[in-house]
Structure 1
Amino acid sequence: MSQNAFERYAPFIQEYIYQKNWTDLREVQVEACNEILDTDDHVIIASGTASGKTEAAFFPILTTLYNQPSNSVGVMYIGPLKALINDQFERLSELLEESYIPVWPWHGDISQSIKKRALKEAKGILQITPESLEALLMRHPGDAKRLFSDLRFVVIDEIHAFMGTDRGLQVLCLLSRLEKITDCYPRRIGLSATLNDYEPAQHFLASGTRRGVKVVGIKRHARTISLCVESFQLPKEPLKAENIVKEYNEFLYQNSHKKKCLIFTNSRGGAEKVITDLKNIAYARQETDVFFVHHGSISAALRREAETALRDAEGATVTAATLTLELGIDIGDLDSTIQIGAPYSCSSFVQRLGRSGRRTGKSQMLFVNIFEESDKNLFERLPWELLRAIAIIQLYLEERWVEPFYMKEKPFSLVAHQTLSVLMSYGELSPPELARNVLLLPAFRNSISQDEYREILQYMLENDYLQKVENGGIIVGIKGERIVNHYSFYAVFQDEQVFHVHSQEGEIGTLDNCPAIGEAFVLAGNMWRVLELDENRKIIYVRSIKNSRIPIWNGSGGHIHTKVVHRIRRILTENVRYSYLSPNASEVLEEARKTAKNSGMLENNVIPYSANSFYLCPWVGSKEMKTIKRLLSYGLKDFLQIYSVSGGSHYLQITSGLSVVEVVNKLHELSVDCDNDNMVLTEKQAPKIDKYDGMVPDNLLRKAFLHNELNVESAVKILREL
């Protein structure tokens, strides 16, 4: 046992460690103990899944509270998911049994009676989501002041899930507003398993404060990794293709049905389909149905059922999930994870890999890819998902690299949201007071100018989101009240229009689109037919049936970083055999290398296929590719005499009035004003991307699209160098 750290812990923590029969503390726990107890800095605890991060943070934090009790809630834990808060509540409740330090969960599913008790006692640990904290500060600032008047620590779990998102900026706004209300400046502790570049995380955690940030847990802990990539090639002939699909499903079944196994897919429809196929095999073989589905459109009760089965059930349990099970909910010790296709990012891969081997230290992941043969064009003949899987694996094995995070340059939607929220807290503010309360928030201090904010306020006043009273003060207007009075206001991520699906047993989940009466579909791994619709309440009543289709949910694919695409290109050029590839996958890769080499796409970004038409493959990520496509479709259309631009994620198909050589020569001399939104948008376009863009004037929406969604400077550089 690491005596120095152990001896510093409060007696109830020492007793807890004895009861758990621990013989030693993890290195990260010792490091965190020293930084939290001996400094006044913020601390990032960056360590792998199941490495003891939660204990590393809470053992010294709770020791501090035990030795110097707080006069209010002493610790606020912010979690990205209600399920994660519920999971941590159970873990902390066991730890705190003998401490007399209470722990309170606080989110939308928690009863008012528990919240009233938490308000009355105002002690211990409060576990909360950003949305519930928003509601508390907005509706009950007096309660927030009393609850947190002596707040010592803010713990932000899964900090990487917040960084680079509006929700993360919202958290920074809320912490800054809380400090102003309470005149209390707690230390911040960030937890993550997937950080690689610590500087952005340090900057994020310290935003709006004057404390430094220490990072602990940087050293890599020994972990055995077992990887395998299998690929199935789907021929064009229907009968042969049907046999390969059957072989693919049998392979998945054999590798999962006798295990504690988590199958990751990149879409909700993909999760439903794989479980439906596996259930059908089990039914045909008269074997036990051990299959569950877990994604954002499944009801909370059914998601909990899947989590409980993985964690507690004896024997095999197989659950197909999207990113909902990426984060650190305790689902026990899995035998393996399976990834259908490839994740979009290294960050996702690291999270998903860490879900298995939590207790044994051996993580296993099987990638299974199905590649459909195509004679459409040379780019469509490449197995992009297989290539992305290899690229992501190699970047992790070679560099432990994960994608960096970027703060949004022009978060206008969030400015409008926080304007309404701040006004609801104060009731009324003069224009200068309102500007100070909003523009000085850390999310906006260096990104939104006074002139831009003045434009937003003017627009919100003109459209009744805000209202000016006789003395010149500003209050929430009629349209603004309708927005803030809806429960969805507290969340800054985009809502989907949903229809709730109910059977006799209760709610099953939600659909984006309303099916017709009599229509059939799959949800939560089971098949249903629509019996009745209540369109006003958006409820679909169903009964169970045998066969039906998989529904399609809205939602775009993930973003792919340029470094991943560069690694794909290198995979196609290097003569390396990767030990984790199956013979089938190796064969598909070798065929792809031949196709790429013979086509010339590895040496040339521009490949002509007629006098005035060519393919453009710049080998860049999705953000840069999206920007290039928009530049060629709008700002450069006349300059290059372009008739059409089409294509996929990795290439564009372009037809021009100029020869290919003339196009490339003109691009070499390209000069573009990177701040001119007319280069990427038509005159009338003002894309509404973020949730509260409706409260932002069109000219600022265009600016937001240019700076948040695209990278014109990088795209122009790429085009010049073709």
Structure 2
Amino acid sequence: MLAERLGWCELREVQEQAYTAIRGGNDVLIIAPTAGGKSEAALIPVLDDILKSGTKGVACLYLSPLKALINDQEERIAAFCRPTGLSVTKWHGDVPKGERGWNVDEAPQFLLITPESLEVLLHEKGHGADLANLRYVIVDELHAFVESERGVHVKILLDRLDRIARAPLQRIGLSATVGNPDEILAWLSGGRHPRRLVAVPAPATAKKFRFVIESDPTRRIDALSGLVAGEKALVFVNSRSMAEAIVQEASGRIKNLHIHHSSVPPAKKKAAEEAFHSGEGACIICTSTLELGIDIGDLDIVVQVGPPDSVSSFLQRMGRSGRREQAAFVAWLLSNPAELLTSCAVIECAMEKKVEPLLPLEKPYNVLVQQIFLYVLSASRAGRSTIARDLLTFSAFAHLSAGDVDRILDHLVSAGYLAADGEMLMPGAEAERVFGRSNYRELYSVISGGNEYRAVTPDGEVVGSLDAQFANRSDPGEFALGGATWSVVKCDESHNLVVVVPGGNGGGTSRVFWTMGEEAALSPVICGAVQRIVARGGTVLPLGEGEMEALNAALYTLPTGIGGQGIFVREERGNSGKEVVVYSFYGSRFNRVLAYLIKSLLGRVQVRYDDYRVRVMRAGKTGAAVKVAEAIRDIPAIPAEEIAGLLPLPSFQSWKFAAALPALDFQAMVLADYYHIGEFTKTLVQVPVILMPDAESGATKADAGE
């Protein structure tokens, strides 16, 4: 069939290995580079088995993180199934309601769906029986789920599918980059089946890099225009606000310019994707939304504006180019030498195959609350002991106890979310008020939607979504969204809606319209590579003369004596006098915790942090560096419950269902999965804290005349 219908002569190595692993009855994680044939590697053995077994009903469920990715994959999967008479159906929120589902005895063999739509499907009557013969679940872009609440939700859904199918399904995960693949395969499998890792590295191919360093914003856009002129180009940026700003500045200067990010409406994103299928040059300014496997065809160049925040992102972005035997071409558009240093670190990590490990959540109490609500809602009335017993059978909650569930149930009852009749529980008035709209549909997703408002025109056209805090300002002013300028004329808080009209008459720069989720933080893997470059005094990359000068300029700002590992402390003279600088190359998430704890231990000091250092001001006139170093060494001995009281609590609005948690459980969740205190303490125990000579003793490279 493949040879005749698709014109294939042979299978790729990843497809041969996957066929053997899947047909052998294993749970499988398939890792291969972008466009490396992962989807086909999963589909071929599954399709073969379905044809041989003649299974009725849905035999394979294809779970995807994005509706757009499902739309993109539908035709690819249908191309496999169509010649064999097997059917494919997609089900997600953008599919019209009348087109979802199927008639009796006409269930598709392949169902493409998002986790949220699967939750809806499992609560709808009429289709559950068609999942009874389910045999396979393929989880696409698995890495996009693992570290978030959606990953916990996916694990629960997979367990529920096992029960519906009356046998453990074969789980097949697909991913391009994972730093700890064996652990993630174990996370996916849950110990139900034997498991096999199919990891085929990308073949060695030519790669071209070009670095453009320009501090002036206007000249930076000029450089971008020159890079993408007449080419099919993806320009990756690290935030939606930056994407909008670049489109504003580049409009009229770059032909066939488009924008693609999570707050742009689906139709506009689809238009951007389709622009690449024309014969002309096209340029899409995008965020991570185009890292995943949406097929946009061949392109000529990937432009990275500023360094990406992870090696994984870089590999996926670079993988977008260099297909069809062409060398991958990535141009780096940077604003200063420090960004060049970071970019070199990213490339070195990729060369050494050092990719970020994925860390599943430890205390997903907010997802437990969601599942309690869903359980009670589906049962109308449910016994406390039954709720605890059933929910604790999910592998995602295996580390929790019956006491944890009882404690949260007590709080939900006292807060009015649940009503109690003896041992029986039912939805309470507060649950009805918060989640009752649209027949409790808010319960089907763990994605927090309360932080964004839909932006629509008076004619009802959806132009995107806005941050709620921005939308609720008394005078939001003009703002950029989807490459256009708009003004808010009305805010409807009850429906999370703002009415907007075209702007553009203010004559000034449009405002940033997100206040949450935009903070960039480099991964510890990248920061560690920066430390190694600093320690050796240069990069292994073959840079040109101009790039070498820029890299040396970045290195000269750092003190001599920084080794390849460890935390280095010394006194320096800052803008406001003497300060203690802690060179801690573990990323701003780590350094945020370190800064808070230093401040708590030393009292009335001021602290600032970034990805590479913590600055401590007002630590004393004498012996300040010694005090800071000793404080850092003392941190691992602080009891966990005491650390919890030393770190500020972020707003619960960042987590859906968190408002319904007891305060101490919310604090424990934040400590584990926001501050990652376990990883923080583990790192701090393992690395030495080294006191360096202060700056006035001539300890910078520049002062030493290097």
TM-score (norm: length of structure 2): 0.88
**Cα distance in 2, alignment partners of residues 130 and 59 from structure 1:** 23
Amino acid at match of 1:353: M
Aligned to 2:557, the other structure's residue is in SS state helix
Find the residue that maps to 1:246 and give its secondary structure.
helix
SS of aligned partner of 2:642: helix
Could you tell me which amino acid in structure 2 is paired with residue 630 of structure 1?
Y
- Partner of 1:348, secondary structure, is helix
Residue identity opposite 1:527 in structure 2: T
1:207-263 deviation digits (Å, cap 9, x = unpaired) = 2x520111224344343322222212x3xxxxxxxxx33322111101112111000
Amino acid at match of 2:68: A
Match of 2:607 in 1: 645
Find the aligned partners of 1:498 and 1:273 in 2 and give their Cα distance. Answer: 20
User: Structure 1's 119 and 457: CA in aligned 2 closer, same or farther, altered over 3 A?
Assistant: farther
AA in 2 matched with 1:297: S
Aligned ranges for residues 87-106 of structure 1 at < 5 Å? Answer: 87-106=72-91
Q: Is residue 2:7 matched to residue 1:25?
A: no
1:116-161 CA-partner distances (Å, limit 9, x unpaired): 3266522311111011111222x32x54531210001000001111
CA separation of 1:618/1:265 partners in 2, compared to 1, >3 Å: closer, same or farther?
Answer: same
1:107–1:129 CA contact under 8 A, matched in 2: yes
- Which residue of the partner structure matches residue 606 of structure 1? 569
Residue 286 (structure 2) pairs with residue 334 (structure 1)? no
Among residues 619, 639, 642, which one is paired with 2:585 in the alignment? Answer: 619
User: Secondary structure, in 3 states, of the residue corresponding to 2:284?
Assistant: strand
**Residue 21 of structure 2: which of 13, 35, 39 is its match?**
35
Per-residue CA deviation, residues 597-647 of structure 1 (Å, 9 max, x unaligned), is 46979998222137974122222223321221121233x2xxx34432234
2:102 paired residue among 117, 127, 135: 117
- What is the percent sequence identity of the aligned residues? 27
Which of 120, 141, 150 aligns to 1:167? It is 150
Q: Name the SS of the counterpart of 1:403 in structure 2.
A: coil
Aligned to 1:469: 421
- In structure 2, the partner of 1:436 is 389
Q: For 1:646-704, what per-residue CA distance to the aligned partner results, in whole angstroms no more than 9, with x for missing partners?
A: 34333222222473254156437626555433335359957525222111111122222
1:265 counterpart (211, 221, 237): 237
Paired AA for residue 324 in structure 2: R
Q: What secondary structure does 1:681 align onto? A: helix
Moved more, 330-339 or 18-27: 18-27
Separation in structure 2 between the aligned mates of residue 518 and residue 78 of structure 1, nearest angstrom = 38
The 1-side partners of 2:452 and 2:312 are apart by 29
Distance 1:669 1:42, change over 3 A: closer
Instruction: Provide the residue aligned with 1:215 in structure 2.
Output: 197
1:234-313 equivalent positions in 2, closer than 5 A: 234=215, 244-282=216-254, 289-310=255-276, 312-313=277-278
The residue matched to 1:351 in structure 2 has which SS?
Answer: helix
Of the three residues 199, 206, 209, the one matched with 1:227 is 209
User: What is the match of residue 6 of structure 1?
Assistant: none
Summarize the Cα distance change of 1:264–1:684 in structure 2 as closer, same or farther, 3 Å threshold: closer
C-alpha change, 1:173 and 1:332, in structure 2 (3 Å) is same
Change (3 A) 1:54 1:328: same
User: Are the equivalent residues in 2 in contact too, given 1:290–1:316 (CA < 8 A)?
Assistant: yes
Q: 1:676 aligns with which of 640, 648, 654?
A: 640
Amino acid in structure 2 at the alignment position of 1:124:
Q
- Secondary structure at the aligned position of 1:337 is classed as strand
- Distance in 2, matches of 1:683 and 1:261, equals 43
Q: What is the rounded CA distance, in whole Å, between the counterparts of 1:349 and 1:269 in structure 2?
A: 20
CA distance in 1, matches of 2:64, 2:411: 34
Task: Give unpaired runs (5+ residues) of structure 2.
Answer: 691-706
Equivalence for 1:522: 480
CA distance in 2, matches of 1:121, 1:308: 32
Matches within 5 A, 1:531-550: 537=495, 538-543=497-502, 545=504, 548-550=508-510
Contact 2:38 2:174 (8 Å CA) reproduced? yes
The superposition leaves residues 395-430 of structure 1 with CA deviations (integer Å, 9 ceiling, x where unpaired) of: 111x21210011212111111111112222333321
Alpha-carbon displacement from aligned partner over 1:414-464 (angstroms, at most 9, x marks no partner): 111111122223333211210111122111102x22222221111111112
Aligned partner of 1:365 in structure 2 is 330
**2:166 counterpart of 1:183:** yes
Say which is worse superposed, 296-305 or 358-367, in terms of deviation. 358-367
Please say if residues 177 and 315 of structure 2, whose CA atoms lie closer than 8 Å, have aligned partners that are also in contact. yes
| C-alpha distance in 1 between matches for 2:359 and 2:626 | 37
What secondary structure does 1:281 align onto?
coil
**1:490 maps to which residue?**
444
Map of 1:50 onto structure 2: 35
The answer to whether the aligner puts 1:458 opposite 2:410 as a matched pair is yes
Q: Report the equivalent of 1:402.
A: 355
Q: Distance in 1 between matches of 2:446 and 2:396?
A: 14
What is the DSSP-based 3-state SS (H/G/I as helix, E as strand, rest coil) of the residue aligned with 1:407? coil
Give the counterpart of 1:418 among 371, 390, 412: 371
Give the count of matched residue pairs. Answer: 669
**Pair 1:576–1:605, CA change in 2 (3 A):** closer
Q: Is the 8 A contact 2:86 2:109 kept in 1?
A: yes
Alignment of 1:562-601 (within 5 A): 562-576=524-538, 579=541, 581=543, 583-597=545-559
1:194 deviation in Å? 1.0
Deviations 1:573-615 (A, max 9, x none): 3244555645443322111222224697999822213797412
In structure 2, give the amino acid aligned to 1:659: G
Deviations 1:688-721 (A, max 9, x none): 2522211111112222222222325236537872
Which AA in structure 1 matches 2:211? V
Match of 1:69 in 2: 54
* CA–CA separation in structure 1 for the residues paired with 2:356 and 2:165: 36
Judging changes above 3 Å, is the alpha-carbon distance between structure 1 residues 502 and 203 closer, same or farther for their aligned structure 2 residues? Answer: same
Question: Partner of 1:263: helix, strand, or coil?
Answer: strand
Separation in 1, partners of 2:326, 2:184: 26
Conserved? CA contact 1:74–1:124, under 8 Å: yes
- Listed one character per residue, the Cα deviations across residues 330-366 of structure 1 (whole Å, up to 9, x for unaligned) are 1111111101001100111111111113333532211
- The TM-score normalised by the length of structure 1 is 0.86
Q: Is contact 1:422-1:437 (8 Å) kept?
A: no
Work out whether residues 667 and 719 of structure 1, in 8 Å CA contact, stay in contact via their aligned partners in 2: no
User: Structure 2: which amino acid aligns with 1:167?
Assistant: R
DSSP-derived class of the 1:557 partner: coil
2:186 is aligned to: 203
- Amino acid aligned to 1:459: H
Q: Residue in 2 aligned with 1:238?
A: none
Within the alignment, does 1:700 sit opposite 2:703 as a pair?
Answer: no
Specify whether residues 653 and 219 from structure 1 end up closer, same or farther in structure 2 by C-alpha distance, changes over 3 A only. Answer: closer
Give the whole-Å Cα distance in 1 for the aligned partners of 2:525 and 2:129: 48
Q: Is the 8 A contact 1:257 1:290 kept in 2?
A: no
Deviation readout 1:39-90 (Å, 9 max, x if unpaired): 1111111111111111111111111111112122000000000000011111
User: Are the structure 2 counterparts of residues 597 and 651 from structure 1 closer, same or farther at C-alpha, using a change threshold of 3 Å?
Assistant: closer
User: Does the 8 A contact of 1:272 with 1:522 survive in 2?
Assistant: yes
Give distance in 2, aligned partners of 1:701 and 1:322.
Answer: 30
CA distance in 2, matches of 1:302, 1:252: 22
2:308 match: secondary structure: coil
Q: CA deviation at 1:391?
A: 0.8
Report whether the alignment pairs 1:132 with 2:117: yes
Alignment partners' CA distance in 2, 1:669 and 1:396: 33
Amino acid at match of 2:415: N
- Measured in 1, the distance between the counterparts of 2:490 and 2:155 equals 45
Q: What runs of 5+ residues in structure 1 fail to find an aligned partner?
A: 1-12, 235-243, 283-288, 372-382
Which residue does the alignment assign to 1:713?
681
Preserved CA contact (<8 Å) 1:293 1:303:
yes
Structure 2 residue matching 1:73: 3-state secondary structure? coil
Contact 1:134–1:490 (CA<8 Å) still a contact in 2? yes
